[in-house]
C-alpha cells in the first residue's frame, strides 16, 4: 500500500514540476482572450496538486453499525495552443485522481480499495464579437480500480460547453451544459458561471459545482469555498463474496474557510478545512441496482494543495 502511494505521489510531483515550463502558454491565452479594453479578471490555475483527508464517519444500514474513511489525491494541468491569433485556441487538460476508501462494521465485514481516474480533455476556445467566447470540451476518462486489464467498462466520456460574456471591467458571466460524473453518477447538468472582482473582493462560481469568495491581501487571500467532486469507478474485484459490485459511485460537497498564499512568484499554496455535508459512497451491480451503500453522516475534512497561477 505504501509503495503504491509513493509511486502515486512521485508521479504527481514530477508532472507538476514539468508544467512550470509550459505555464506561459496559458498565460498568453488569458491575455489574448481578454479584450483590449479590459484586463483579465483573475489568475488562472495552470497546474495544481492537492490532498484531502476526511475524518472517520459512522453509518447505519439494516441495523448494522459501521464506519467509513476516505482520502483523495488530485493533480490537474492545462495549457493551450493558438490556432488563430486572438480568435481560436486548442485547450488541453490532464486530470488525475486517486481515491482511497476504507470501511468496516460490527459484523467484521471490511472494505478497503484504491481507485484511479485519468482524464485527458481536448477543448476549443472560440472568441466571438461583443466580448463573448465559447468553450467546448470533450473529456475521455478511464476510472477504475485497475485490478484487471483495462476494458471498455473503465471508459467514460464527459463533456461540457459554456458560452461566457465579459459584461464590464469587473464582471463576467456564462451559461452552459455538462455531462459529468462529478456527483457520483453520470448526469447531464446545466451550468451557470460568474466571476466578479471589485476592490480586494473576488467572487467565483461554477454552479452547481463550485462557489468561492475571497478577500485579497498583498501576498495571500482568505475566504470561503464550496466545492463538489466525485466520480464513477469500475470495480473489477469483488472483495465481498456475496455481493455483485460492478460500479462505485462517490461524491461529496465540502464547505469551509480557505487560505491561499504566495510561496514564490506564480507558485501558491492553499489550506482549506471545514465540513463535508454530502457523503455519497454507493456500489451498484451489473444491472445498475444498488448493492452496497456506505454513504455516511456529516464529517470534517482538511485539504492542502499547491497551484501555479498565471
Q: State how many domains the chain has.
A: 1
What is the per-residue pLDDT for 21?
A: 47
Q: pLDDT truncated to tens, each residue of the chain (310 aa)? A: 556 666 565 555 555 554 544 444 445 555 555 555 678 887 778 899 999 999 887 766 666 677 888 999 999 998 888 899 889 999 899 999 999 988 876 565 677 889 999 999 999 999 999 999 999 999 999 999 998 888 899 999 999 999 999 999 999 999 999 999 999 999 999 999 999 999 999 999 999 999 999 999 988 999 999 999 999 999 876 655 566 678 989 999 999 999 999 999 889 999 999 999 888 888 888 887 887 777 877 889 999 999 998 8
Say how many Å lie between the first and final Cα of the chain, rounded.
36
Strand residue runs (E) in 85-219: 88-105, 110-127, 132-144, 155-166, 171-180, 187-198, 201-207, 210-216
Contact between 41 and 72 (Cβ < 8 Å)? no
DSSP sequence for 23-36: HHHHHHHHHHTS-T
pTM for the structure as a whole: 0.85
pLDDT at 25: 47
* Separation of alpha carbons 249 and 229, rounded Å: 11
CA proximity to 141, closest of 159, 124, 125, 123: 159
Nearest to 5 by CA among 65, 53, 58, 68: 53
A 10 A CB-CB count for 265 gives 9
B/e letters for 148-162, b = 16+ CB within 10 Å, e = fewer, are eeeeeebebebbbbb
Domain of 149 in residue numbering reads as: 2-309
- Sign, Cα dihedral of 280, 285, 289, 294: negative
Q: What is the pLDDT of residue 38?
A: 77
Is the alpha carbon torsion for 75, 81, 86, 87 positive or negative?
Answer: negative
The span from the CA of 145 to the CA of 236, in Å, is: 7
Amino acid at each position: 500500500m505504501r509503495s503504491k502511494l509513493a509511486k502515486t505521489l512521485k508521479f504527481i510531483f514530477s508532472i507538476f514540476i514539468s508544467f512550470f515550463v509550459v505555464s506561459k502558454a496559458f498565460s498568453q491565452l488569458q491575455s489574448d482572450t481578454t479584450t483590449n479594453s479590459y484586463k483579465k479578471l483573475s489568475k488562472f490555475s495552470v497546474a495544481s496538486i492537492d490532498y484531502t483527508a476526511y475524518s472517520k464517519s459512522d453509518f447505519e444500514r439494516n441495523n448494522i453499525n459501521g464506519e467509513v474513511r476516505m482520502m483523495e489525491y488530485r493533480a490537474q494541468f492545462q495549457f493551450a495552443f493558438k490556432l488563430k491569433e486572438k480568435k481560436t485556441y486548442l485547450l488541453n487538460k490532464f486530470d488525475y485522481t486517486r481515491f482511497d476508501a476504507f470501511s468496516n462494521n460490527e459484523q467484521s465485514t471490511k472494505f478497503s480499495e484504491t481507485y484511479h481516474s485519468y482524464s485527458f480533455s481536448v477543448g476549443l476556445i472560440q472568441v466571438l464579437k461583443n466580448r463573448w467566447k465559447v468553450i467546448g470540451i470533450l473529456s475521455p476518462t478511464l476510472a477504475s480500480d485497475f485490478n484487471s486489464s483495462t476494458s471498455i467498462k473503465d471508459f467514460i466520456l464527459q463533456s461540457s460547453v459554456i458560452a461566457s460574456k465579459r459584461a464590464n471591467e469587473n464582471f463576467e458571466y456564462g451559461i452552459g451544459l455538462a455531462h459529468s460524473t462529478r456527483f457520483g453518477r453520470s448526469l447531464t447538468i446545466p451550468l451557470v458561471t460568474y466571476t466578479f472582482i471589485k476592490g480586494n473582493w473576488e467572487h467565483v462560481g461554477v454552479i452547481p459545482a463550485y462557489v468561492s469568495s475571497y478577500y485579497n491581501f498583498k501576498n495571500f487571500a482568505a475566504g470561503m469555498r464550496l466545492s463538489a467532486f466525485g466520480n464513477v469507478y469500475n470495480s473489477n474485484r469483488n472483495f465481498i463474496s456475496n455481493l455483485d459490485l460492478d460500479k462505485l459511485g462517490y461524491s461529496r460537497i465540502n464547505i469551509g474557510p480557505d487560505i491561499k498564499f504566495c510561496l514564490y512568484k506564480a507558485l501558491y499554496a492553499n489550506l482549506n478545512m471545514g465540513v463535508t455535508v454530502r457523503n455519497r459512497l454507493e456500489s451498484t451491480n451489473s444491472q445498475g441496482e444498488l448493492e452496497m451503500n456506505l454513504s455516511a453522516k456529516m464529517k470534517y475534512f482538511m485539504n492542502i494543495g499547491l497551484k501555479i497561477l498565471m
